[in-house]
Amino acid sequence: MSKVFNKTKVVEKKVFSVEKIREDFPILKQTVNGKPLVYLDNAATSQKPAYVINAMNHYYMEENSNIHRGVHYLSELATQSYEEARNKIQKYINAKHREEIIFTRGTTESINLVAYSFGRYNFKKDDEIIISAMEHHSNIVPWQLIRDEKNILIRVIPINDRGELFIDKYEKMFNSRTKLVSLVHISNVLGTINPIKLMIEIAHNHGVPVLIDGAQGIPHMKIDVQELDCDFYAFSGHKMYGPTGVGVLYGKKEFLESMPPFQGGGDMIKSVSFEKTIYNDIPHKFEAGTPNIAGGVGLGATIDYLNQIPFEVALEHEHNLLIYAQEALSSINGIRIIGTAAHKSSVLSFVIENIHPHDIGTILDDDGIAIRTGHHCAQPLMKCFEVPATARASFAIYNTKEEVNSLVKGIHKAIKIFR
């Protein structure tokens, strides 16, 4: 790691203190409409610690250069920082090989990569894939694009009214034409934690590989891809306290090696002539063009940060907040919580009788409280619950009980205005 970092190095915090964690995130100190910012839109994107911001700043100030190309000093430095970040990610999710970590723009691009490379290469007419009723648009639309091209069938695992998948129905969906399962780890609307280990095992019993959309998974739990035995795991940097514009596709080596490139360009080739191009080895085969180098470096720094705080205790704190908020909101008259699965994480969606979520959002914003309102890029799921939209509060490790209390106060204010 680079030298200048010592100045901004995170002081190791053995004991979790939410106040101390908050100090690491400069943006949380600001006020909105004269009130302290209460940031409860973490499922959309999380805030970034100064450590990550400084690491990216440092990269641009001291190391900026193109990677994998130059023989000069800066290019070597930049390449080293970027590839070091890949190692950190490999370790963090316990991938077997470093070349199983593909840098992408984010979860969406990671899923598209699998759809366009694995899907286009392997799917034939009348093949089937399985997704679930609680997928984000980014795990629906790429498959529909491939479906329309290849004439495959997309089957959808249904959910119960608590927002849990029917595992027995899922088991019965497999047949000889099933080619892939693509499944969300944690729902961005319902907060449901799907039993992916079991579901991966079921798919593997049928010889079917599994892609996990981990956009909401990785910020809220420790991921071990070997233990899960998933074949692909897609995630974004920006929801896990890292920068926007960078994400990862983890894929098992044997799959990645057999898959054709996703995009063509520089860096993904070994040699090019007008007659024939030899592709580079993984991971570079899937990383055409100059990547988001600063983003990659920033994601590496994010992992350093998460490794240096007592992350598991922080996650417990986050979970306790969810329980606290869920109980507080349930006791308000006229509120319906959308998503009441037994295993939930960090997301609290709700609707209030006779008040549209957008109006709730505007009224809360007046008190400096940021929540998300709308369909959360999950329109089919909204249909399941027969709501056009929901209000969603989503928590991170730096949120506090006081902030939940502010949310409750804001909701009462909205109810009063619309009474």
Partner 1 sequence: MTALKELYQEVILDHNKSPRNYHRMEDADRKIEGYNPLCGDHFTLFIKIENDVIKDISFEGAGCAISKASASVMSSTVKGKTVKEAEELFKKFHELVLGEGNPEEDFEKLGKLAAFSGVTEYPARVKCATLAWHTLHTALTTKEHRTTTE
By the criterion CB under 8 A, which residues form the site for partner 1? 354-359, 362-363, 366, 374-375, 379, 382, 388-389, 417-418
Cα separation, 16 vs 393, in Å, equals: 23
| The token pair that represents 120 in the structure block | 């286009």
* Of 324 and 418, CB closest to partner 1: 418
Tell me the pairing of strands 38-39 and 369-370.
parallel
* Of 22 and 375, CB closest to partner 1: 375
User: First-to-last CA distance in the chain?
Assistant: 58
Query: Does residue 283 have a cis bond before it (omega within 30 degrees)?
Result: yes
* Of 136 and 317, CB closest to partner 1: 136
- Identity (one letter) of the amino acid at 299? L
- Tokens 């417990």 sit at which residue? 316
Q: At what angle do helices 311-330 and 401-417 cross, to 10 degrees?
A: 30
* Of 21 and 364, CB closest to partner 1: 364
| Coil vs helix vs strand at 101 | strand
At residue 366, φ and ψ (nearest 5 deg) are: -60, -30
Query: What's the min distance (Å) between Cβ of 13 and partner 1?
Result: 37
Sequential DSSP letters for 237-258: STTTTS-TT-EEEEE-HHHHHH
Q: Across the chain, which distance is largest between two alpha carbons, in Å? A: 72
* Of 382 and 384, CB closest to partner 1: 382
Cα separation, 400 vs 396, in Å, equals: 9
- Identity (one letter) of the amino acid at 140? I
Q: Which of 310, 352, 363 is nearest to 16 (CA)?
A: 310
* Of 120 and 375, CB closest to partner 1: 375
Active-site residue list: 377
* Of 155 and 356, CB closest to partner 1: 356
Q: At what angle do helices 293-308 and 73-92 cross, to 10 degrees?
A: 50
What is the phi-psi region of residue 135: left when phi exceeds 0, alpha when psi lies from -120 to 50, beta otherwise? beta
Query: What's the min distance (Å) between Cβ of 365 and partner 1?
Result: 9
Q: Facing residues of 35 across strands?
A: 32
Beta carbons of 67 and 283 less than 8 angstroms apart: no
Burial status of residue 281 (CB atoms within 10 A of its CB: 0-12, 13-18, 19 or more): exposed
Q: How many residues make up the chain in this entry? A: 419
